[in-house]
Structure 1
């Protein structure tokens, strides 16, 4: 038996913790440790398990959020429960399954947690799930330290309710990083309002708590930032804010005044306040000033030269800090519910000491949150020492803006970036205030990587990149195993993650490359049995590639994913057929058939067609030919005719 402290690392305790008698599962099998994503801080598994059953009694503590109760009911009905009844208290001798939900401070919740010899996790956004088998069912308690924590508990319950039986257990959980989510900060076509709504709903499922609205191509947030939004646009943004609130996601509005702002002009500070005041009317309480990607070594107005002296990096740091300090003070004075202002500096990457960073560090209000993209604009890795250096450079712990899986720069032309989120060091939670992913122009495909970013932000020390990657496929597939396998096949062909340099930080198609390398090695070995088996394996691999697009488009997977990935799926199907013909050519060559040449020729023709498939015009910043397992699949099709003489 192993134990840790109450909020320690993931544990399994094979012991009876429940005061009620343990009840074995109906099939006689012992309970198993559930897989929950993001990984919880701690799971303690007890003895016994029970099915939810067809009828469940739902008991909510006074003051519990009605939307969270409704979500719990929806999860139960989706899991196969036929009838959900309600009660105000737990009976002395409960029968069947009872679910209690509420704040850990509520007497009802404290009492039921005591049945499992536990208390509520007392961290911000923390929650506890405790389950106790009883005769004919069980008692499940969903307790939150606060309203956000309770909502996260229900999201974990959503995953647990898909299991055939519910184990006796205690989950204690809370996030490692205070800020976790995404920043819609890419160039090119912004997401639609429908995309954003879906994304906010998705963020809730991975326990993210922040979405920053910062599309570079919103004219009223950048080029025309001083102008008021049209009423219709403000109404649409208001609907998004309401969706975010329902999902316990903080909607942060970002404005990018840098290209034209006059830092010393009170009129521009007032223009920012008017902009924020308008957003406040639709429920926004979190704001952001973006000063990235601007020319900061020359002034936009003559009065800045008078106020701050000759233009330059140090003067820019001072000027920016003075304006941001004014905005921060206005936010506090105007709105007691406001959160600290967030900013992204002009020198947002690396942590080298510079006059600009020194000025910002000295002048900027310590309440203002500073974003940082890591050791480069697109860093290949981020370590704890990297983050500590950034803390020293900016005078505060930074909020990481991770430019993954964004695909708005030249090296990503023709690519979706869907490798697992990796090469960020466990323990970064001690050095950062949070982490935000900059996603792709394609919202649904972005969820693959964002799932990993959110999971890392929740529990960086317990994060498993590969298992989280599989979970993202399972979620997109709606639990359909065949669709999940097809998605993982597709993800592998979009595994390459470039940087601004020549070397990618994630390799292309590692699984497919390993399979094709095995074929090369078997054919080179000269053993007839191995050669025959390798060609059979290649044929199966080719069938998997060729069939994956139709499986993904079959309806189980979110239709938005299939549509936004359409040209990649089209190209993958052509490449799969080219590989099928390649396998047929190798088989013919192995048996001395003259048909080998024809098969190889047809494979080459399909390869040309596949390589010519273009991205959806205007969908991303740079249009171009679609890349599918490039350098791996195309190279094998090209090399195959020379592998066996014919």
Structure 2
């Protein structure tokens, strides 16, 4: 058979001719890369640098070996097989060259000069310039300090994922000096392995603080005066080393409040001994937790003599005295020690009170005060809220954000995985930082913590939805299908409760939109519209039913899979129930008696799904798993009433 004749128009011929004359004319366009947390500024320039199989690495003086290891690992993951070392950047860039440097050295000024920029001079700041030149190009990672260069290496890890990096100029530094998590929940503490993984995660997100404060560590609360067993000290030392490698400050918190005698020098000395033992294993940052205690009742008669009858004001004076002694001891033993952190007994709201007035008057101004916002679990935090807290405590506060913690009754059966929202841009002007109180489940906590840390890094440039999606991609190992499956799960765990009856984030907004659309089309649309809506529902039900298997398939972080196991089990059952519901609605639309069978199967599967229980002991409150509750269960229950499907069947004669 003769080949078909193909005719090209004049414009098509011109396009082909242009492509042949200029091979790069139809090349993939250069696009602005997505970086999380969002940098302060990033701008594309002309060209791009392809890493290829060989890169020359130039390491300036004072660069930590650990940072070099991070960069080498990034290059290997990008397909670079050979890394040659050089002492300086040559004039002729015949291959890609990568410069690592700390401080405003001559080499940095020379590398940044052609782009007309200087090194970001803010604490933890860094500058990245990618310049295409000759057969290679120059990539400069310059940190104002070692922390800044480490952050630059984390940004480079994101830039290098595709092997080709666009020419660009990136300037970046954090908005808030303190960013990270406080393991401050009740219930089963994280394991040491969980903490290690979390510290590695914090490093990738440019966080810089982790507070060790599990409520169920007896040596930090009930037996706070007793020394730690040698085995525990060894484990804490290993964690502190992991934290340093990730440029994260490991802060040890102690909770003496339930039994401390504020006026007894022996108790102050017991605190100092505890901190001395931890300082000896490499921990240099400390915290005293005075939350969740009865502060209008003395623990010893001595305090009544020293401070008078028990009251909120007297408690503020007594606590200040003890904290001031500890703060002075920290400085005396380590002149470079960071200030002591305290969470006070009145840790929420910013209302004036005798207790806050006493802290404001008597507490050493160097001591950092934590504050949880307008409530224990606040629905929102505004700049005026933070200003009021600054006034109430006499200093800018460090926000303890009780999200996504799930250790209170309203969170029973839930993972809290909605995006981090309702915190006002501009809070960096009134806060010293933000620490997230995570869930008992470490890996699922990363979804929300990623948002908390990204907000603290750049509150004015923070994009909640994009950061949420980036967290899903990270947990999925970059796999697109697994990412979509995770986002489906996240939507079913979108509800964020408070201590009251009103949640501050709604449940399953994406699913609600879908199911409400199906309801509206059934009630108001025509036959074709109903068929299209029901076909769409069937596809979404298939995706929901298959999401758990995709999450378990191997690319998603194994810790996430294990810690969310009952939620994955329940999600699959609810997905199958929705499949049967969709089939029932299609059958009802076709006036088929099969609708009854489908709806009955959906009801049975929904019953099985609702009976799935959380892992015993994993959280403070155990109970049935909640999956898009109030949305998915309601639709499945209502579905048999949406279309009249019962009809008389003629009897055969």
TM-score band w.r.t. shorter chain? over 0.9
Question: Relative to 1, partners in 2 of residues 1:215 and 1:27: Cα closer, same or farther, differing over 3 Å?
Answer: farther
TM-score between the two structures when normalised by the length of structure 1: 0.96
CA offset at residue 98 of structure 1? 0.3
Quote the residue 1:43 is aligned against.
42
Deviations 1:485-508 (A, max 9, x none): 100011000000000111100000
**How far off its partner does 1:403 sit?**
0.1
- Gaps spanning 5+ residues in structure 2: where? 1-21, 646-653
Distance in 1 (CA, whole Å) between partners of 2:247 and 2:272 is 25
Q: Distance in 1 between matches of 2:293 and 2:86?
A: 59
Instruction: Answer yes or no: is the 8 Å Cα contact 1:350–1:374 preserved in 2.
Output: yes
Quick one: distance in 2 between partners of 1:458 and 1:305? 45
Task: Quote how far apart the aligned CAs of 1:29 are.
Answer: 3.7
Query: 2:8 maps to what in 1?
Result: none
SS across alignment from 1:461: coil
Q: CA deviation at 1:106?
A: 2.4
Task: Quickly say closer, same or farther: Cα 1:370–1:593, change in 2 above 3 A.
Answer: same
Shift of 1:26: 9.2
C-alpha distance in structure 2 between counterparts of 1:632 and 1:490, whole Å: 14
8 Å contact 1:25–1:31 — kept in the other structure?
no
Larger radius of gyration: 2
> How do 1:588-607 residues align onto structure 2 when only pairs under 5 Å count?
588-607=587-606
Q: Distance in 2 between matches of 1:415 and 1:24?
A: 55
Match of 2:355 in 1: 356
Instruction: Specify the alignment match of 2:329 in structure 1.
Output: 330
Match in the other structure for 1:85: 84
Matches within 5 A, 1:393-408: 393-408=392-407
**What is the aligned partner in structure 2 of residue 557 from structure 1?**
556
- Are 1:53 and 1:137, in contact at CA under 8 Å, matched by a contact in 2? no
The match for 2:107 is 108
Offset of residue 109 of structure 1: 2.0
Indicate the residue corresponding to 1:345 in structure 2: 344
Q: Distance in 1 between matches of 2:422 and 2:287?
A: 28
Partner of 1:460: 459
- Decide whether the 8 Å contact of 1:104 with 1:119 is kept in 2: no
Residue 137 of structure 1, CA deviation: 2.0
Q: Distance in 1 between matches of 2:84 and 2:25?
A: 24
User: Contact 1:26–1:50 at 8 Å: present in 2 too?
Assistant: no
Distance (whole Å) between structure 1 residues aligned to residue 60 and residue 449 of structure 2: 34
Task: Quote how far apart the aligned CAs of 1:157 are.
Answer: 0.3
C-alpha separation in 2, matches of 1:590 and 1:206: 50
Q: Which residue of 1 aligns with 2:534?
A: 535
**Residues 177 and 429 in structure 1, CA contact (< 8 A), matched pair in contact too:** yes
- Structure 1 residue 394 displacement after superposition: 0.2
Q: Say yes or no: does 1:216 pair with 2:215.
A: yes
- CA gap of 1:459–1:483, structure 2 versus 1, over 3 A, is same
Distance 1:565 1:76, change over 3 A: same
Deviation at 1:24, TM superposition (A): 11
Q: Do the aligned partners of 2:52 and 2:163 also contact (CA within 8 Å) in 1?
A: no
> How far apart are residue 521 of structure 1 and its match?
0.8
Q: Is the 8 A contact 1:24 1:48 kept in 2?
A: no
| Matching residue of 1:545 | 544
What residue in structure 2 maps to residue 276 of structure 1? Answer: 275
SS at match of 2:129: strand
Who is 1:582 aligned against? 581
User: Is the 2:377–2:403 Cα contact (8 Å) retained in structure 1?
Assistant: yes
Q: Pick closer, same or farther for the CA change 1:277–1:24 going to 2, 3 Å.
A: farther
Deviations 1:527-556 (A, max 9, x none): 100011111011001001100001001110
Please say if 1:427 is aligned against 2:423: no
Kindly indicate whether the alpha-carbon contact (under 8 Å) linking 1:253 and 1:284 is maintained by their aligned counterparts in 2. yes
Q: Deviations over 1:264-320 (max 9, x none)?
A: 000000000000000001111100000000000000000000000000100000000
SS at match of 1:343: strand
Structure 1 153/309 Cα, relative in aligned 2: closer, same or farther at 3 Å?
same
Q: Distance in 2 between matches of 1:329 and 1:62?
A: 36
The farther-off stretch of 157-166 and 356-365 is 157-166
Q: Which is further off, 100-109 or 474-483? A: 100-109
Q: Which residue of 2 aligns with 1:255?
A: 254
> After superposition, where does 1:10-159 map in structure 2 within 5 Å?
28-159=27-158
The more displaced of 235-244 and 74-83 is 74-83
Q: Distance in 2 between matches of 1:431 and 1:90?
A: 43
Contact 2:78 2:163 in 1 (8 A): no
Whether the aligned pair in 2 keeps the contact of 1:45 and 1:167 (CA below 8 Å) is yes
| TM-score normalised to structure 2 length | 0.95
**Structure 1 residues 27 and 255, CA gap change in structure 2 (3 angstroms):** farther
How much does 1:50 deviate?
A: 2.3
Q: Residues 25 and 48 of structure 1 are in contact (CA less than 8 Å); yes or no, is this contact kept in structure 2?
A: no
Alpha-carbon offset, residue 92 of structure 1: 2.0
Deviation at 1:68, TM superposition (A): 0.2
> 1:183-582 alignment to 2 at 5 Å?
183-582=182-581
SS at match of 2:161: coil
CA offsets 1:205-260 (integer angstroms, 9 cap, x no match): 11000000000000000000000000000000000000000000000000000000
Structure 1: segments with no counterpart, 5+ residues:
1-22
- CA drift at 1:164: 4.3
| Count of equivalent residues | 624
Partner of 1:161: helix, strand, or coil?
helix
Q: Distance in 1 between matches of 2:90 and 2:390?
A: 54
